[in-house]
């Protein structure tokens, strides 16, 4: 009887032992799972935060690039606009006189008598009254001025008017100013629109004005802009 009871006690103890072991294993497995889950959650959260930060950085970088592109486009636009303005200043437009002046002839009238003999590309030496010569009466105190930006390509004495000044506007246009007082500029000078070429110190004088485009005389009235 006692022996049977001892066996039962041993079996009971063994069962309890394995139950405890299984419980312990279960607890350990659960702890491992919980720790793993916490780590995974932490890694996922960290990855999510990192991704969010990276996305924000990318968005900021894209915004900065867009701003730079916009600034560059604006700069290019302003630069092109400035170039257009500078190019426009080279065009010989306007009256070549500042002060009291009066146009005294119609250039169209000269072409009928001169183009047949000398052609539109005649030199000043061949034809003193060139096609499309615009003559302007000027009074004391007036200034004969450049009608556009350019480089003085020629300054010399003129048999009919006294002196001749030619300006190359570096865009196909050239202007010629002929007057009988000494020029205020020299060959090679860079001139700006409105800059004085001759100063009228006599009571009265006559300016002869010509415009050429690609070495061909054109009517100055086609280029003159009168405003105000």
pLDDT digits (tens, 9 = 90+) for 107-156: 766 554 444 444 444 444 444 456 789 999 999 999 999 999 999 999 99
Residues whose CB is less than 8 angstroms from the CB of residue 216 and which lie 6 or more positions away in sequence, other chains included: 120, 121
* pLDDT (0 to 100) of residue 44: 65
The candidate with the shortest Cα–Cα distance to 56, out of 70, 64, 67, is: 64
* pLDDT (0 to 100) of residue 15: 77
Low-confidence ranges of the chain (pLDDT < 70): 1-12, 43-49, 82-83, 108-130, 225-228
Count of Cβ atoms closer than 10 Å to residue 43 Cβ: 10
Counting beta carbons within 10 angstroms of the beta carbon of residue 169, is it exposed (0 to 12), middle (13 to 18) or buried (19 or more)? buried
* pLDDT (0 to 100) of residue 98: 93
Count of Cβ atoms closer than 10 Å to residue 39 Cβ: 10
Q: Measure the CA–CA gap between 110 and 86, rounded to whole angstroms.
A: 33
Give me the numbers of helices (H) and strands (E) for the chain, helices first please: 2, 11
The candidate with the shortest Cα–Cα distance to 138, out of 94, 103, 109, is: 103
The candidate with the shortest Cα–Cα distance to 128, out of 92, 164, 168, 174, is: 164
């Amino acid at each position: 009887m006692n022996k049977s009871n001892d066996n039962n006690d041993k079996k009971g103890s063994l069962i309890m032992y394995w139950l405890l072991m299984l419980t312990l294993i279960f607890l350990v497995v659960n702890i491992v799972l919980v720790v793993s889950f916490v780590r995974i959650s932490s890694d996922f959260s960290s990855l999510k935060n990192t991704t969010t930060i990276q996305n924000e950085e990318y968005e900021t970088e894209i915004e900065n690039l867009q701003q730079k592109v916009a600034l560059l486009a604006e700069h290019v636009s302003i630069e092109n606009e400035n170039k257009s303005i500078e190019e426009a200043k080279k065009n010989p437009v306007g009256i070549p006189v500042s002060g009291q002046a009066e146009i005294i002839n119609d250039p169209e009238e000269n072409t009928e008598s001169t183009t047949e003999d000398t052609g539109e590309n005649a030199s000043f030496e061949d034809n003193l009254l060139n096609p499309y010569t615009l003559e302007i009466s000027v009074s004391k105190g007036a200034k004969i001025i450049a009608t556009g930006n350019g480089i003085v390509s020629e300054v010399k004495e003129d048999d009919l008017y006294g002196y001749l000044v030619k300006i190359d506007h570096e865009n196909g246009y050239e202007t010629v100013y002929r007057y009988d007082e000494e020029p205020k500029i020299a060959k090679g000078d860079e001139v700006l629109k409105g800059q004085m070429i001759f100063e009228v110190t006599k009571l009265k004088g006559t300016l002869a004005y010509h415009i050429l485009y690609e070495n061909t005389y054109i009517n100055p009235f086609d280029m003159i802009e009168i405003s105000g």
